[in-house]
Structure 1
Amino acid sequence: MEFDFTWVLLGFPIAFTLGWLASRLDLRQLRIENRQAPKAYFKGLNFLLNEQQDQAIDAFIEAVQNDPDTSELHFALGNLFRRRGEYERAVRVHEHLMSRGDLTQPERDRAQHALALDFLKAGLLDRAETALRKLEGTSFEEEARLALLSIYERSRDWANATEIAARLGSSSHGSFSTRQAHYLCEQASAAAAAGDTAKALNTLREAAAMAPAATRPLIDLAKLQNQLGQPQDALQTLLKLKEVAPQGLPLAAGLLANLAQSSGQQQTAQDLLKASYAQSPSIDVIEAIVKLEKDPAAARQWYVQHLERHTSLVAASKWIAGEKLEDEHHHALVQRALDQATKPLMRYRCAACGFEATQHFWHCPGCQAWDSYPTRRIEEL
């Protein structure tokens, strides 16, 4: 039986026609899907630009449903949830991304970083730490280390904070020696509170060697030496401020005057304080000079000299406190009013967030910044 090639010839056009129709149907479906996804995406973007986050989230959810394989839409949706404080939903979005097997390694690292931020914003510090540790060796490594440093500072885990700061210092983020010195001072404070003064002294000396231009290690070391009954050593420690950190003298002026009196070196301390005041006038330095002055009239004259150079309500109040008024029986009332008025002026203010406090902080309790408090009071800024 011979094969009839007529059917083959007739089948080619039919097969071609069916293939063409199939391709047209696929293209049409693809165009419909592509039109639907960008439409929802751009709608969400428009809502986002108009700060209509609820509508933006609905639009992005629609876009993700139309095209569930698009990772960028998942990232956008997760970030929106995080910004709105819906951390649980943000975590679900980013965990869903992490579970996908078709993600490239950069996308997976990005999802891991986003997940760590979700945990961090939600206050789940242990889970955030675990997620951030997984970013070692990725393009998000430096950002992860900075976030870890913030976590360890907030939890007062100074040992781990020191480790991370050392790694950051060895990279392109500059020197972290001053911050590491703060960590050592915190550890020394804990050791002293626990009764281990020897460890505290060694730790403070290590901090002073690590950051020679830092003020805190020397002040903390002098305070501890004074508590241990070593006023002479404490005074010598504070005298180093003149060379390494003269800007910190106002914070140590009162302690310096007390140590000078107990060790009989008033003149040495006075010379240092007067030189500091001449370079940069400060109420705290004046108070220390007045304390060391033997003549009460000469002591009060320092307030007058300060008023000649600066309009200072604090100095005026201090001067009036030692003067005789015509109506002396009203003196207490006037002084009380002045003291009340000067209280806000004697506070310290964080230069980073504006948080005010009656005491000087090395670590701002408001914004967690280090060394953000100037060494001078609000009136002197």
Structure 2
Amino acid sequence: MEFDLSWIVLGLPIAFGLGWLASRLDMRQLREDSRRAPKAYFKGLNYLLNEQQDQAIDAFIEAVQNDPDTTELHFALGNLFRRRAEYNRAVRVHEHLLSRGDLSRTDRERAQHALALDFLKAGLLDRAEDALRRLEGTAFEAQARLALLAIYERSRDWPQASDIARRMQAAQQGDFSTRQAHYLCEQALGHAAHGELDAALALLEQAIATAPQAARARIELARLHQRMGHAQAALQALGGLADAAPAALPLAASLLVEVASQAGQAQQAHTLLVRHYEQMPALDLLEAIVALETAGAQGAAAARSWYVRHLEREPSLVAATRWLAGEELAEPDVQPQVQRALEHASKPLTRYRCAACGFEARQHFWQCPGCQTWDSYPARRVEEL
């Protein structure tokens, strides 16, 4: 049987025509899909720019329904849900992304990070911790460790926080030695509260070795020695504070007066306080000097002259109020009212203020209760800043 070449001649144009027709149909469908998806996308973007988040979410949902494979739209939608505190919906979006088998490694890591943020914002710290742990070895590792550190500090899990800080320092993500010292101090305070003084002592000595320039460990060590009845050791710890972190000495001025009196070395403490006061006048140093001189041979009148010296160096309503409390006015009947008014006016000036967020407190905090920043409270009071 002979093969008829005429069929090839006739079949080629027909095959070409059918292929062209199929391509036109595919192109038309593609154009329709591409027009529909960008339209919804840009409509959502426009709503977002106009801060119309409800309409933006509806537009993005429409775009995702038209093209469920678009990962960027999923990320945009999940972020919008998180910003609106609709954490359950944000979690569903990001978990849907993670369930897809065709997701690239980069997008999978990004979705895992977004899911961790959803849990973190929702306050689900256990689930956030698990999600953040899965980011080890990814491009989001540094951010995940910072978030884990915040979780452990918030839950006061100091050993875990110390472990994360150690890893971050080893990865050269910053110097965390001072923060490590704070974690050790927190653990030491926990042991001391349960009467485990030797364990607390070991942790505080470790904290000093970790961050020799940090003030807190030396102050806590002095308090612990005082509690244990070791006044001389407490005095030695405060002497180390004066050398390593002289700016923090006002925080331990009253403690220095106590342990020096107990150790019978009030004169040495007085000399130390006066020397540091001359270098940097501070109200707490001033009060400590006055307390030592009042208890000594000089008497209250001579001690109170320090308030006048302070006023000669710098104006201070607090120092003026303290000095006036021991003076007799020409009209003694009005002195209580005047004194009460001055004390009321000066009380806010004796507070401490966070340098990071401005939160004010009567006592000094090593970690701000407002913004959770470490060492953001200066050792000097509001009037002296």
In structure 2, the residue matched to 1:255 is 255
In structure 1, the residue matched to 2:123 is 123
In structure 1, the residue matched to 2:46 is 46
In structure 2, the residue matched to 1:63 is 63
Match of 2:85, SS state, is: coil
In structure 2, the residue matched to 1:329 is 333
Q: CA deviation at 1:5?
A: 3.9
Equivalent position amino acid for 2:36 in 1: Q
Equivalent position amino acid for 2:382 in 1: I
Q: CA deviation at 1:10?
A: 2.1
Match of 1:343, SS state, is: helix
In structure 2, the residue matched to 1:310 is 314
| Distance of 1:7 and 1:138 partners within structure 2 | 61
Q: CA deviation at 1:339?
A: 1.4
| Distance of 1:215 and 1:251 partners within structure 2 | 9
Would you say 1:370 and 2:351 are equivalent positions? Answer: no
In structure 1, the residue matched to 2:280 is 280
Q: Number of paired residues?
A: 381
Q: CA deviation at 1:3?
A: 4.8
Match of 1:240, SS state, is: helix
| Distance of 2:368 and 2:51 partners within structure 1 | 32
Percent identity (aligned):
68
Q: CA deviation at 1:329?
A: 2.5
Q: CA deviation at 1:281?
A: 1.2
1:263-278 map, 5 Å: 263-278=263-278
Cα deviation, 1:195-228, whole Å, max 9, x if unaligned, reads 1011111111111111100000000010111111
Equivalent position amino acid for 2:377 in 1: Y
Match of 2:363, SS state, is: coil
Q: Is the deviation greater in 52-61 or in 3-12? A: 3-12
Unaligned 5+ runs, structure 1: none
| Distance of 1:9 and 1:264 partners within structure 2 | 119
Match of 1:107, SS state, is: helix
| Distance of 2:281 and 2:41 partners within structure 1 | 61
1:109-188 map, 5 Å: 109-188=109-188
| Distance of 1:186 and 1:222 partners within structure 2 | 15
In structure 1, the residue matched to 2:289 is 289
Equivalent position amino acid for 2:180 in 1: Q
| Distance of 2:274 and 2:79 partners within structure 1 | 57
Equivalent position amino acid for 1:278 in 2: E
Cα deviation, 1:279-314, whole Å, max 9, x if unaligned, reads 211111100000011332221111111112222111
Unaligned 5+ runs, structure 2: none
Q: CA deviation at 1:9?
A: 2.4
Equivalent position amino acid for 2:71 in 1: S
Cα deviation, 1:343-370, whole Å, max 9, x if unaligned, reads 1111111111111111100011111110
| Distance of 2:108 and 2:188 partners within structure 1 | 41
**TM-score with structure 1 setting the length:** 0.97
In structure 2, the residue matched to 1:215 is 215
In structure 2, the residue matched to 1:353 is 357
Match of 2:272, SS state, is: helix
**TM-score with structure 2 setting the length:** 0.96
Q: Is the deviation greater in 151-160 or in 298-307? A: 298-307
Equivalent position amino acid for 1:35 in 2: R
